[in-house]
Structure 1
Amino acid sequence: MDIGSSPAEFVFGTTLRILGKFVLPDDFAPDPHEFIEEFWHHMRKIKPVPVDHKYKRKPFLFKDLTVCSHVFMRNHAKKSLERPYTGPHKIINRTSDRVYEIDINGVSRQVSVEHLKPAHFMREDIESILPVQGDSPNVIEVVPPVRTYARKQVTFKL
């Protein structure tokens, strides 16, 4: 079904006209040397755009990493159902703010702090701190507080 009009006539109500500067005359013969010379001058004016990193990724660092004695090391090449961290590993030396020397299975290795997570252990003297159930209520004992970590959460999957 041809109705004899273009979509432009439906939209604008008239036919579209191309400006004269977009249409080359029939007797136009381009000179390749002139084109290359203009192109060369144009390309000399173009300057490279400086590469600027707009977003520099800052790694997450644990606050306790500077004072802990053992760490877990992230295993990036893990398979499914494998633990994401190995360890705990003992810190041998803090080489710098960004590199720690840790003991991995008896071998000393320098690791970036981006791959480390502090290891928290339970206190071994917990029995001596908590009062025993059979104690008399008249005896008042000064019990040092047990330090807990509110950020740590234990979940059990059944």
Structure 2
Amino acid sequence: MVYGSLIRIPGDAFFKKTEQKDSDIPQFVSDVKQYMNRLKPVQIAHKVKQTPFVYKDLSMSTHTFVRIDMIKKLLEPPCEGPYKVVERIPNFFGLKMKDQLKNISIDRLKPAYLLKEDIKLPEDTPVSPPPQDKQPEDKNPRTSRLGQVIRFPTRLVEVVQ
């Protein structure tokens, strides 16, 4: 609508302006009904069904977390687990949950990245302790004015001495 222009009623937009008489009103009503009956709904574009997000590492993971699909209380974790993967079916994974095999959809799964210490090995497998990096102790430790010992990185020890 533009300031200063005339306001049009919807009938003016559809039909030509002609002078109408009281005898033309039934004809006008029937024309409007016919016009409205010819109108068809506009075709809508159907949305494409989105595929669920699946982690790339899920196909190779030995353990997974399972997303909890319910309303959670405050500070409640969003996932349960980790659970061991027993079998892989295209859209489902068989997980060992509480001594039972349950099939869970892959869109609820998240791969678990476990450390070697966290994975339980059979008892007959020897486990070696992780290597520890030991820094050679300095025979003449340098101290600050406040008496704190200053430790330089090993790559800089030769430069400082």
Q: TM-score w.r.t. structure 2 length? A: 0.55
Q: Pick closer, same or farther for the CA change 1:33–1:67 going to 2, 3 Å.
A: same
Task: Check if 1:109 corresponds to 2:102.
Answer: yes
Pick aligned residue for 1:95 from 82, 89, 104: 89
Q: Give the whole-Å Cα distance in 2 for the aligned partners of 1:121 and 1:22.
A: 82
SS state of the match for residue 26, structure 2?
coil
* Shift in Å, 1:50: 5.6
Residue 60 of structure 1, CA deviation: 2.1
TM-score norm. by structure 1 comes to 0.56
Q: What secondary structure sits across from 1:28 in the alignment?
A: helix
Q: Which amino acid aligns with 1:103?
A: K
Measured after TM superposition, the shift of residue 74 of structure 1 is 0.5
Residues 42-87 of structure 1: CA deviation (Å, up to 9, x unaligned): 15xx37626521x542322211111111100001212221011101
Alignment partner of 2:110: what SS? strand
Q: 1:52 aligns with which of 46, 62, 65?
A: 46
Confirm whether residue 127 of structure 1 aligns to residue 129 of structure 2: yes
Match of 1:28 in 2: 24
1:42 is matched with which residue: 32, 38, 44? 38
**Cα distance, 1:108 vs structure 2:** 1.8
Q: 1:27 and 1:34 mapped to 2: Cα distance?
A: 13
State the 1:127 CA deviation. Answer: 2.4
> What letter is aligned with 1:24?
Q
Distance 1:81 1:132, change over 3 A: closer
Pair 1:119–1:48, CA change in 2 (3 A)? same
Per-residue CA shift, 1:84-118, capped at 9, x if unaligned? 1101111111011x211112212221111111011
RMSD value, Cα: 3.8
2:58 aligned with 1:61, yes or no?
no
Count of aligned positions:
119
Q: 1:17/1:79 Cα in 2 relative to 1: closer, same or farther (>3 Å)? A: closer
Identity %: 24
Structure 1 gaps of 5+ residues are: 1-7, 136-158
Structure 2 Cα separation of the partners of residues 86 and 79 of structure 1: 14
Which amino acid is 1:111 matched to? Answer: I
